[in-house]
Amino acid sequence: MADIANKYPDNVAGKYYVDNQCIDCDLCRETAPANFTRNEDGGYSFVLKQPGTPEEEAQCKEAKEGCPVEAIGDNG
């Protein structure tokens, strides 16, 4: 399970975040491309934009549930 104490500083403030367990698998970026992006230097994903629509919320939830290493957190 994602740990808010280990979240990447790149994450925008809000409900969803990615922590240091991320293995850069690309699942979240494919599932919720408007919300997740990649840190090219670090080789990990982070939350670029919190969901602003019900569709984006559903995509972020799907990304969180599908994350193979549970690196996506939801503190809401």
Q: In what helix (H) or strand (E) does residue 18 lie, and over which residues does it extend?
A: strand 16-18
Domain boundaries, the chain: 4-74
Of 10, 29, 30, give the one whose Cα is nearest residue 20: 10
Q: What confidence tens digit (pLDDT) does each residue in 18-74 have? A: 999 999 999 999 999 999 999 999 999 999 999 999 999 999 999 999 999 999 999
The model's pTM: 0.95
Going by pLDDT thresholds of 50, 70 and 90, the confidence category of residue 11 is: very high
The CATH fold assigned to 4-74 is Alpha-Beta Plaits (3.30.70)
